[in-house]
Amino acid sequence: MSAPLFELGAFGESTSLIIALIIGVAFGWFLEQGGMGNARKLAGQFYLTDLTVFKIMFSAVITAMLGLFWLHRAGVLELSLVYVPPTWILPQVLGGFVFGVGFVMGGLCPGTSCVAISTGRKDGLALLAGMFAGILAFGELFALLRRVYEATPAGTLTLPQLTGISYPVVVALVAVVGVAAFRLAEWIEQRGT
């Protein structure tokens, strides 16, 4: 096992930031290539006329899932060391709602607003300003929001844990459902045009 590289001490914090920058730029470049810097394209998701966002998300989920699973099987990656973000039910439901409202209104999410700025779109700039205003307001009001922020901690949850289905079977189900959902998305798009 030689990965995850950072967790196993292959490089330090400063190198990890440089690597994060490179991965971030590559991520942004691919998002832009996929048309994710365009608010109209993203808004199409909500009107079911353009399901590119859905397809990109599902592709990413399935690629990462199969990659992690098979790299572990090949002895390259130690799966138990991969960081799984913990769940806080109430703050994440509320945060998801605020995020969703902002996404529908602005047509961009935080990542794609940065992508939009890179191609000179002013709406991206406006959204990024809003994002920093939100971060500032959250930081200043944190003492008031703290009780909500720390409410309903559920620990680290995974699908095998929640459903009791074994991990490899979850991988198979997600892969098959993902491909089916992808086909369904294309069918919905074709029907709309």
Separation CA 42–CA 85 (nearest Å): 25
Q: Among residues 47 and 65, whose Cβ is nearest to other proteins?
A: 65
Residues that bind other proteins (CB under 8 A): 1, 7-10, 62, 66, 69-70, 72-73, 78-81, 83-86, 110-111, 153, 155-156, 160, 166-169, 171-176, 178-179, 182-183
Q: How far is the CB of 133 from other proteins (least distance, A)?
A: 17
Positions of E strands within 1-159: 87-88, 153-155
* Cβ within 8 Å of residue 125, ≥6 positions away: 113, 116, 117
Q: Among residues 47 and 133, whose Cβ is nearest to other proteins?
A: 133
Q: How far is the CB of 25 from other proteins (least distance, A)?
A: 16
Separation CA 128–CA 123 (nearest Å): 9
Q: How far is the CB of 44 from other proteins (least distance, A)?
A: 19
Q: How far is the CB of 84 from other proteins (least distance, A)?
A: 6
Separation CA 64–CA 37 (nearest Å): 22
Q: Which amino acid is at 123?
A: D
Q: Among residues 30 and 167, whose Cβ is nearest to other proteins?
A: 167
Q: Which amino acid is at 139?
A: G
Q: Among residues 80 and 190, whose Cβ is nearest to other proteins?
A: 80
